[in-house]
Structure 1
């Protein structure tokens, strides 16, 4: 079960679930990128 499916299951009762899920996925990607770059930054220190 991936993040998108999980989000759709969680927000299936909401009218604007598609928009919410897109925002959730974008946010998750940003968090993942931030975590990746911060790990790389700490290794350089």
Structure 2
């Protein structure tokens, strides 16, 4: 249930599917899923 709550704020369906596949393949915890989603929402800038 926690994984879904983390993903519900993503509007792009293709991105949701990509994240879902990564959660399944890497057996991510809810906490790691939240970090992953945060990295998509706030990408780090490379200088």
Structure in which a larger fraction of residues adopt helix: 1
Q: Which has the higher contact order (CA 8 A, sep 6+)?
A: 2
On whether the aligned pair clears a TM of 0.5, the verdict is no
* TM-score band w.r.t. shorter chain: 0.3 to 0.5
TM-score using structure 1 length: 0.40
